Structure 1
Amino acid sequence: MTANSDSHHSGRLQLDSREFNDFRDYLQKIAGIDLGHNKQYLVSTRIRRIMIDYQCETLGELTTKIKSPVNKELRQKVVDAMTTNETFWFRDLYPFEYFRNTLLPELTQNKTNNRIRIWSAACSSGQEPYSLSIVVEEFIRSQLGLSSLPLEIVATDLSSKVLENARNGEYDRLSIARGLSEQRLKTYFDQPDTDTWRVKNTVKQRISFKPLNLQESFVLLGRFDIVFCRNVLIYFSPELKKDILTRIHGAMKPGGYLFLGSSESLSGANDLFEMVHCNPGVVYRAI
């Protein structure tokens, strides 16, 4: 062990600025994550455990290892650690209310639309697509004479680990506490044991989970009526944001709706969408 090893166990790594820049550039290249110059502390706390597990003394050693084609698993672990997978049920409420009260009735009445398609981009551990599917269930139950709805939700994320968790649809007490009402918990979840809640199959069956890096092509996903791409663009550079929004527009049906996070904007893609006020909040319609 080197003299630097004490800092491994103190929770803070001393990061060489050249090595930090090299790591930062590589992370941007493979995942699009735009780390600021001042994010050394964030990096050191999030990858400290990985560096210990893989016996890397320096960030430079770790970067060399993740660049090697044989270390795919390690590369995925680093990406997982550096993407914030914090998520809530029915986050910010208004997108889900607007989806239920305005968009679902509109899309259901549009007879040319034989199948409604929704994309939950950067779905993390699954709370967003499951929240959307719960809203669809509630909408179906509220409509007399409607027993089902030809609707599909495609949920994607960069992280294979969180996608696996999302696909399982099992959540602990802490995850369940963030945004779920008692009524929805009773109606749409089973409880296999005292500390685990599992999403019911009626909610699960309309969702397909797929790995996707937003820097790559969306063409194979098909076209969508509604896209939720919330609280993910904040990690990207302005150029990449604009590129992603342009390609999302290309994956939308004419007049489709895009929801961004409450602190996010169109970042240079204003000519592709018009703003619609939901009061509170806004949604963007593809032009």
Structure 2
Amino acid sequence: MLNSTNAITPNGYIRFRDYLQKVCGISLSDNKQYLVASRLGRMLEREGFSKIEQLVDALDRPGSSKLKEEVINAMTTNETLWFRDIHPFTILKDKVLPEMKTSPLRIWSAASSTGQEPYSISMVIEEFKSSRPGVLKAGEKIIATDICTNILQHAKRGEYDSLAIARGLGPDLQRRYFDKVNDLTWKIKPHLSSRVEFKYLNLIDSFSMLGKFDVIFCRNVLIYFAVDLKLDILKRMHASLKPGGYLFLGGSEALSGLSSYFEIVQCHPGIVYKAKVL
């Protein structure tokens, strides 16, 4: 049996780290060999590779797209829950949505993982429309993107087991917005899921084809990227926002060096970034 820890040699780790950053932007620090070993150990053994260098060599060969996809899926962190950190969703409902009166609302949920964020946004829209009928124009759209293909398939199904449902979702919203499939599984109701369109997207690539948005949620993903790439993505997100559009980042993330692009809006509690007109 392969010893996956020994398979991650110093030189091989550097090569793999450089490859991962090149293809998807994830920047591993110098001491993440254990993470690579734990996530890729079974793949290395299955492919008959005794060293990580052999995997990198295989990834560089023509026809390796399936292996590349599997590596990215394995190395992507997909930690999520309903209404994560709560403040952004409160700000969305109480501040942002009341301003959206001129055209059908378009929201982008970047790095949407298994779907909890975009479906939470859809629930917020539903709650807002119930409390403020007629404020939003019909035709709201949430574009949800992720680089992890197997996670996207999960998200598209909109089905969650009882443990996943319980992570951040109260029983009232569960009853209101989910249908029970069986004793272990719940499915998001069609009128909520119909607002959400899931797409594959690598954030290091162009996303101009997605169009313009009123709101972008890009939370808890930029922490995995190098500073230069992070700034590049944020500048391109600014270009994807309509004038005065809003950007939500994760609680541990902050804009630095982009004061000419975004204005910080303090919401007490929580903050959101408003796109400036350049």
TM-score (norm 2): 0.95
Per mean C-alpha deviation after superposition, the further-off stretch among 235-244 and 75-84 is 75-84
1:99-248 equivalences in 2 (<5 Å): 99-108=92-101, 113-144=102-133, 149-248=138-237
- The separation in 2 between residues aligned to 1:54 and 1:146, in whole angstroms, is 56
Q: Which residue of 2 aligns with 1:56?
A: 49
CA contact (8 A) 2:104 2:137 kept: no
Deviation at 1:218, TM superposition (A): 1.2
1:7 has 2:3 as partner: yes
Q: Secondary structure at the match of 1:215?
A: coil
Deviation at 1:147, TM superposition (A): 9.6
For the aligned residue pairs, the C-alpha RMSD in angstroms reads: 1.5
Q: For each residue in 1:210-264, what CA deviation from the matched residue of structure 2 results, as whole angstroms up to 9, or x when unmatched?
A: 1110001111000000000000000000000000000000000000000000000
Per mean C-alpha deviation after superposition, the further-off stretch among 55-64 and 124-133 is 55-64
CA contact (8 A) 2:100 2:136 kept: no
Q: Which residue of 2 aligns with 1:88?
A: 81
5+ residue gaps, structure 1, are none
1:72-87 equivalences in 2 (<5 Å): 72-87=65-80
Q: Which amino acid aligns with 1:165?
A: H
CA contact (8 A) 2:179 2:187 kept: yes
TM-score (norm 1): 0.92
Q: Which amino acid aligns with 1:177?
A: A
Q: Which amino acid aligns with 2:142?
A: I
CA contact (8 A) 1:226 1:256 kept: yes
- The separation in 1 between residues aligned to 2:117 and 2:257, in whole angstroms, is 26
Q: Which amino acid aligns with 2:198?
A: F
Deviation at 1:145, TM superposition (A): 5.7
CA contact (8 A) 2:2 2:50 kept: no
> How many residues are matched?
276
Q: Secondary structure at the match of 1:271?
A: coil
5+ residue gaps, structure 2, are none
Deviation at 1:272, TM superposition (A): 0.5
- The separation in 2 between residues aligned to 1:233 and 1:267, in whole angstroms, is 12
Q: Secondary structure at the match of 2:181?
A: strand
CA contact (8 A) 1:140 1:149 kept: no
Deviation at 1:35, TM superposition (A): 0.4
- The separation in 2 between residues aligned to 1:236 and 1:145, in whole angstroms, is 41
Per mean C-alpha deviation after superposition, the further-off stretch among 53-62 and 147-156 is 147-156
Q: Secondary structure at the match of 1:134?
A: helix
Q: Which amino acid aligns with 1:72?
A: S
